[in-house]
Structure 1
Amino acid sequence: MKPTTPRTPGRPKRKEQEIPVYETVLFTASRLFMELGYEAVSLQQIAKACGITKASIYYYFDGKPQLFTASVSAVLERARAATEQLLDQQLPLRERLIQVSEVKLARSHGDFETIMREARSSLSQEQLDEITSKEESIHYCLAEHLTNSMESGEIRKIDPLLTAHAFSAVLMLGIREIAKGTPADKLARDIVDLFWDGLSI
């Protein structure tokens, strides 16, 4: 009988399974973390939702902080890509901002700031920096398009990065309204109207 080579505990049986399992863990973990927060989610819970063993998660990640960092970074990277795709459209900036708002509000889960406050003490500075970098990439993407609209005369000139941060902050407040049952499409337009026109009559 041909001897078999021992494999590391928790390692998927076939090499071709590695990428799908990794992606499944990442997707499932990001969904659970964003919906329930950091403390409420365990590796055992993630493993059960993925249909794998907890040891399989440890094959890819050193522990919960690393998995949280990777999954949240993946969420933020997808958000940046979606934001860039919407802002690249040949539409007036106001309409593009409404579409960005609609997508963000419709896909919102938990309060991201609350989730990060909960996780912060468990993460290393390097992990916090990685998440912050991904979050900032969304602001830089928005700031770039704001700059283009300022240069074309579509909107007045003001610090584009500050404006991007302000817009994101208003959207974060909007997510709390979504939880109260306000329709995403109406709220998105109201937020952009307030952001665009301010309080002027």
Structure 2
Amino acid sequence: MKTQRAQGPKTLMGKRRTAAKNESSASYQKRRQEIAEAGVRVFDRLGFQGASISAVAAELGIDRASIYYYISSKEELFDEVIRTVIERNAEMAERIRRSDAPPRDKLHELIVALMKSYGDHYPLIYIYIRENLSHVSDKRSAWSTQMRALNHIVEDAIIAIIEEGEASGAFRAAGDPRVLAYGVLGVVGWTHRWFRPADSALSAEEIGRVYADMLIDGLTRPSTP
């Protein structure tokens, strides 16, 4: 009969990791942040499938065993570097959706805010977009479900704003609001193929304004006969 290796806090290392987290010492948090930043570079360079704890350790120039005191797996590290930004964007989208601003202003603000977030947290969200949830193992299904739920908050916010604009006459009925919302997200998301803050003549926020003006112009321009 096969015995299974204990995981997480049940192992000695897991107990030490949990205790260290609870202490929240400055040195522990500093090293954990350094590991997270190294993880971003490794995920950006190798992708989720190609990344490993060994690669992160090599990035920092430390022994792999040292990493496990702070992070249990590359899955945990991926979650560490991605989740906060995705949650903030979902909260931001919901806040804009619920505001009293006109639909045109809300959609403009949301598009600019999303693009600005991509730039402010570069390359985190681009890594997330490139990876696609299908690249994450089956063991991460609960995590994948949570991430999809956060994505749906952003999608639903855009859909609701477009529907509100159509109902008020601010936007013309240009098509299925969900399809239009996917178009908005596609335009912003496609920047992962070419946008590099260090090399760009325009900031992420400026690019967001260009896209917002273009997309809203398409929703407000009268249909051709």
Q: TM-score, normalised by structure 1?
A: 0.67
Q: Give the alignment's Cα RMSD to 1 decimal.
A: 3.9
For the structure 1 residues 14 and 170, does the alpha-carbon distance in structure 2 shift closer, same or farther, using more than 3 Å as the test? closer
How far off its partner does 1:153 sit?
2.3
| Native 8 Å contact 1:26 1:70 kept in 2 | no
Q: Does residue 192 in structure 1 map to residue 206 in structure 2?
A: no
Q: Does residue 141 in structure 1 map to residue 141 in structure 2?
A: no
Give the match's secondary structure for 2:12: coil
For the structure 1 residues 66 and 167, does the alpha-carbon distance in structure 2 shift closer, same or farther, using more than 3 Å as the test? same
2:22 paired residue among 3, 6, 15: 15
Aligned equivalents of 1:151 and 1:30: distance in 2? 45
Q: Does residue 102 in structure 1 map to residue 122 in structure 2?
A: no
Report the AA paired with residue 217 of structure 2.
D
Q: Which residue of 2 aligns with 1:131?
A: 147
Q: Does residue 152 in structure 1 map to residue 161 in structure 2?
A: no
Q: Which residue of 1 aligns with 2:4?
A: none
Deviates more, 1:93-102 or 1:39-48: 39-48
Question: Percent identity between the aligned chains?
Answer: 16
Aligned equivalents of 2:107 and 2:39: distance in 1? 25
For the structure 1 residues 54 and 34, does the alpha-carbon distance in structure 2 shift closer, same or farther, using more than 3 Å as the test? closer
Aligned equivalents of 2:112 and 2:201: distance in 1? 12
Q: Does residue 56 in structure 1 map to residue 56 in structure 2?
A: no
Q: Does residue 84 in structure 1 map to residue 106 in structure 2?
A: no
Q: Which residue of 1 aligns with 2:185?
A: 168
Aligned equivalents of 1:160 and 1:123: distance in 2? 32
Q: Which residue of 2 aligns with 1:120?
A: 135
Tell me the alpha carbon deviations over residues 54-81 of structure 1, each in whole angstroms, 9 at most, x when there is no partner. Answer: 22334xx4x2224424643332111111
| Native 8 Å contact 1:29 1:67 kept in 2 | no
Q: TM-score, normalised by structure 2?
A: 0.61
How far off its partner does 1:171 sit?
0.7
For the structure 1 residues 48 and 86, does the alpha-carbon distance in structure 2 shift closer, same or farther, using more than 3 Å as the test? farther
Aligned equivalents of 1:114 and 1:88: distance in 2? 30
Aligned equivalents of 2:207 and 2:84: distance in 1? 26
How far off its partner does 1:128 sit?
3.3
How far off its partner does 1:120 sit?
0.3
Aligned equivalents of 1:26 and 1:93: distance in 2? 42
Q: Which residue of 2 aligns with 1:4?
A: none
For the structure 1 residues 15 and 130, does the alpha-carbon distance in structure 2 shift closer, same or farther, using more than 3 Å as the test? closer
For the structure 1 residues 137 and 25, does the alpha-carbon distance in structure 2 shift closer, same or farther, using more than 3 Å as the test? farther
List alignment gaps of at least 5 residues for structure 1.
Answer: 1-6
Report the AA paired with residue 93 of structure 1.
P
Give the match's secondary structure for 2:144: helix
Aligned residues: 187
Give the match's secondary structure for 1:97: helix
